[in-house]
Structure 1
Amino acid sequence: MSDPTSNSTTPSGGLLGLLSRLPGSYAGPQTPETAPYGLVGVGEGTLAAHLLQALALPSLTRSGTQFVLGSPDAGTLATDYADLAEVAGATARRISTGGRPDEIDVLVPGGPLSTYHFAQAVAYASGHAEEARQADAAMADLAARCAPNIEENNPARDLAWSLWGRTPLLLSAPDADALPHAWQQLLARTGKTLAVPLLGDVLPLTCGAFDARHEQGDAKVALLLGDTDPALLLAREILESRIDEIIHVPAPNGAQGYPAALALWYFGAWVAAYLAERYDAEPADPAVLARAQATLSGEGGGRTDGDLRLSAPRDDLRRTRVQEEPDWADDNDEDDLDDPEDREED
């Protein structure tokens, strides 16, 4: 169906360009760390850690390598996890979008696309290089089909059109509960739309949610994310008589495991960007989010000269930085240093 609201001027061109270049853009460490592995995520690293559960990484380990994914707004908690891991006997590997140089092992780009860099860094470092390459291949295929110049049969544009003006309900099989989490984040942060994840046992939810007020099923669309199971198929049958539409969003090209999870996150990012476009909204992070994160990171109170911190450029696809690189502190790119004198006052 052609979209009467589409036009050649794309207000979200910046983000769409970043999305087009995202597959294969991870350029950080690829050497596996010492096994066994543990993984926790806080702040901006929370979603990536959830998606990485497809690699069956436990939360904590007493030996080997403990990956801690974080950002300055959750820096204290990330430090606590790293200290706990080292006391227990593991080596902490800290991956973050910013913070004190001595508390970062890998610096990744910030913003809504940081999930990709977090996830690929852990996939390579935990010995899953083949899965990381498969994820990039699946994403590259999606990029070719979802690019802004594809106006007909563009799956991301078509799904955004189906979501426009509706409230999405997000469902998945229990072993893929990271997908409703991911899509809720993407649709809110980028698509400026509230989506409702239905988590846990979906049958009581779908059977009873609309019985008292049937009109609540109006303007609702359910997205079945990833592979289905018998309970999810039953939930689909139940919802068919209660809401407007049900759409299955499978992994591209039959991908499984971690490649499927990251590719579906990536597809959700495309859908969210086009949904913002439908609403004539800017898909970039709202200013209030940046201020809230800055407040939590302690930036509101000023710093002393000795309190140097690093901050990765938001939505930037330059090389992922590694602490051991000799030019870390001497980088001439001033965007990599979070200087309070350069920060605009709100």
Structure 2
Amino acid sequence: MTPTTDFLNLLENLPGSYGGPTRPEPGPYAVIGSGEGTLAAALLGNLIGTNFTKEGTQFVLSSPDAADAARTYAELAEVAGANVRRISTGGEAADVDVLVPAGALSTYHYAQAVAYATGHAEEAQAADRAMTALAALCAPQSAERNPARDLAWSLWGRAPLLLAAPDAEALPHAWQALLARVGKTLGVPVPGDPLPLVTGAFEAQHEHGDGRIALILGDTDPALNITREVLESRIDEIIHIPYPEGSEAGYAGQLAHWYFAAWVAAYVAERYQQAPTDPPVLARAQASLAGEDTGGLTLRADHEDGHRTRVEEDDWQADEDELDDAD
């Protein structure tokens, strides 16, 4: 199997694959993330709105490359009087209470571990159901129109603006992380109030809006509706990506949205003829931060000659025809 096939198989089998503890811990709860646990902590904001607690259970989500920060968080919580549960992708035994798989899809395992440990089993199961439905739509063998692959076509050759309402501020972070790590391409999140940015960003250089696309993630609100109206006269395309069918705003909907982003990112990598797996330089950087011996290997990227990927309309059409013939 190729790395792409392996990753797509892993992605398809992700829903329901969490196999860690499911027993609730004593409340109240707080969660904070470092390293690979940062995104999961953000997605858990709808379940746990607190970063630190002086009682109950403090969850610290981390990875070996961010172990020092995680230890500091855990020590502060313990001194304050909270019970600490350390969820990590590896490291010293004292730093790990629950071990989860590492990699771009670790967010799912971190998040589900905390959802179950905070008594939100129903939400965790709802997330798995929504993700299972998405897998049927987005897997490579899907007989119907594949929404993830279709969106990847729209993103090919573009760096999308990523917008969401304040109660879904983790989604732009999720899409940016997955488009970069899996899709090997850039997304630009728009944090905070989007109106000052979208009303002014293209005024001095209108050509910067040429070919630009914006993704509105999750539910809209009045500010996003006005933002969309403004952008319609400044950029080429705006696509609203609501919560997947059968889910809604909240933990399950946001984790399912993250999962859809992972499918889209995988197909973006496919369009660029890139592997969706982690590049070697990321592993070396993480190992260096974790204090491991990297054998003298440098952190320089593979392409050191200023190489840029060329994206041309003729290539787009030729590739599309080629895929249609293959189908």
Shorter-chain TM band: 0.7 to 0.9
Deviates more, 1:151-160 or 1:200-209: 151-160
Which residues of 2 match residues 122-133 of structure 1 at below 5 A?
A: 122-133=114-125
| 2: CA distance, partners of 1:148 / 1:237 | 35
Aligned to 1:285: 278
| 2: CA distance, partners of 1:285 / 1:248 | 28
Which residues of 2 match residues 78-117 of structure 1 at below 5 A?
A: 78-117=70-109
Aligned to 2:233: 241
Among 276, 279, 287, the alignment partner of 1:294 is 287
5+ long unaligned stretches in structure 1: 1-8, 303-346
TM-score w.r.t. the length of structure 1 is 0.83
Among 213, 216, 219, the alignment partner of 1:224 is 216
Aligned to 2:137: 145
Does the 8 A contact of 2:24 with 2:119 survive in 1? yes
**Is 1:52 the counterpart of 2:60 in the alignment?**
no
4+ residue segments displaced more than 6 Å: none
Among 170, 187, 190, the alignment partner of 1:198 is 190
Instruction: Please state how far the C-alpha of 1:301 moved relative to its aligned partner.
Output: 7.7
| 1: CA distance, partners of 2:126 / 2:5 | 27
The one-letter code matched in structure 1 to 2:165 is A
Among 23, 33, 50, the alignment partner of 1:31 is 23
Aligned residues: 294
Q: 1 or 2 for the larger relative contact order (CA 8 Å, sep ≥6)?
A: 1
SS at match of 1:112: coil
Aligned-pair RMSD on alpha carbons? 1.3
Aligned to 2:324: none
| 2: CA distance, partners of 1:19 / 1:78 | 28
The C-alpha deviation readout for 1:257-306, integer Å capped at 9, x for no partner, is 0001100000000000000000001111011000000000000289xxxx
| 2: CA distance, partners of 1:89 / 1:56 | 18
| 2: CA distance, partners of 1:63 / 1:253 | 37
| 1: CA distance, partners of 2:56 / 2:134 | 35
Aligned to 2:181: 189
Cα pair distance change 1:34/1:11, threshold 3 Å = closer
5+ long unaligned stretches in structure 2: 296-327
SS at match of 2:234: coil
Aligned to 1:168: 160
| 2: CA distance, partners of 1:103 / 1:234 | 47
TM-score w.r.t. the length of structure 2 is 0.88
Percent of aligned pairs with the same residue?
67
The one-letter code matched in structure 1 to 2:195 is L
The one-letter code matched in structure 2 to 1:158 is D
